[in-house]
Amino acid sequence: MAFSDLFRIKREIIEVGRRMYARGMVAANDGNISVRLGGGLFAVTAAGVSKGFMTPDDIVVVNEEGRRVEGGGKPTSEAKLHLFAYSRRPDVGAICHAHPPYATAFAVSGRELPPNILPEIILTVGGEIPLAPYATPSTEELARSIEEHLGEAGAFLLANHGALTLGGDLTQAYYRLETLEHYAKIAWLALSLGEVKPLPEGELDRLWCISKGMDPSCREPDENGEAAPPGTG
Ligand SMILES: [Zn+2]
């Protein structure tokens, strides 16, 4: 990869870190960000740095085994989690991990976010936000904790820990983190008012079709009574 491309990606990671910190999604040195560079290499944030005040020296290039190939810092302790997700999801180009308070409150209470209540979350993040079981931060077990739902999900709650979002690029991964936290805040407020009302029946299918760029009725049965199977397209 050209030096100028790596520099641009480092600037993007720094900007996303600054926004995560400014929005209170991380405290002190929490959180980590990574981008797939191609050729089996990844840019990851260094361990022990505030995401609000990073410089290009705080981004390290690692290989698929997590070994440092460029940069002076030590890679984030969660590099295993990021690299595991990249290895299973060729469609993923960037990953954000943070401890945003509302999403993390759901993760700490062991409670999944109510599905099927807001169209925006389905269009931006996807219909499913799994709650991955608790595992010790920085361990191989944490990486494995997301395995069961890694197939299609764009965002995870990590029990007693925080949130993880995946995207085709860094903008998408970061926007999913913002949207997830915004959604968790709305859900928390709505639950404090009482029950939340689900979207009308069939709406999840319609939104899924729209999110894939297809006709809203793409999952409705055709004249032969056959609906497109879930997960196709
Ligand atoms: Zn964390």
Q: What is the mean pLDDT of residues 123-143?
A: 90
Q: What is the pTM of this model?
A: 0.91
> Which of 29-38, 43-52, 159-168, 215-224 is the least confident region?
215-224
Residue 233 pLDDT more than 50? no
pLDDT at 223: 64
pLDDT at 122: 85
Ligand 1 centroid to residue 29 C-alpha, Å: 10
Confidence class of residue 232 from pLDDT cuts 50, 70 and 90?
A: very low
Ligand 1 centroid to residue 233 C-alpha, Å: 34
pLDDT digits (tens, 9 = 90+) for 62-89: 999 999 999 889 999 999 999 999 999 9
Q: Cα separation of 82 and 170, whole Å?
A: 13
- CATH numbers and ranges of domains, the chain: 3-199 (3.40.225.10)
pLDDT at 228: 55
Ligand 1 centroid to residue 232 C-alpha, Å: 33
Q: Which residues, 6 or more positions from 72, have their beta carbon under 8 angstroms from its beta carbon?
A: 57, 60
pLDDT at 227: 57
pLDDT digits (tens, 9 = 90+) for 88-110: 999 999 999 999 999 999 999 99
Q: Cα separation of 180 and 198, whole Å?
A: 17
> In b/e form, how buried is each residue of 93-125, taking b as 16+ CB within 10 angstroms?
bbbbbbbbbbbbebbbeeeebbebbbeebbebb
Residue 4 pLDDT more than 80? no
Q: Break the chain down into helix, strand, coil percent, rounded to 5.
A: 40, 15, 45
Residue 170 pLDDT more than 70? yes
pLDDT at 114: 87
Indicate the residue type of 228. A
pLDDT at 226: 61
Ligand 1 centroid to residue 138 C-alpha, Å: 8
pLDDT at 224: 67
* 20: three-class secondary structure by DSSP: helix
CA distances (Å), origin 115, targets 111, 119, 183: 11, 10, 10
* Backbone torsions φ then ψ of 227, nearest 5 degrees: -95, 150
pLDDT at 100: 98
pLDDT at 231: 46
pLDDT at 204: 83
* Backbone torsions φ then ψ of 158, nearest 5 degrees: -105, 115
Ligand 1 centroid to residue 99 C-alpha, Å: 6
pLDDT digits (tens, 9 = 90+) for 21-47: 999 999 999 999 999 999 999 999 999
Q: Cα separation of 30 and 20, whole Å?
A: 10
Catalytically active residues, by annotation: 78
Ligand 1 centroid to residue 140 C-alpha, Å: 14
Q: What does pLDDT average to over the chain?
A: 92
Q: Which residues, 6 or more positions from 209, have their beta carbon under 8 angstroms from its beta carbon?
A: 215, 216, 217, 218, 219, 233
pLDDT digits (tens, 9 = 90+) for 176-198: 999 999 999 999 999 999 988 98
DSSP 139: S
Confidence class of residue 229 from pLDDT cuts 50, 70 and 90?
A: low
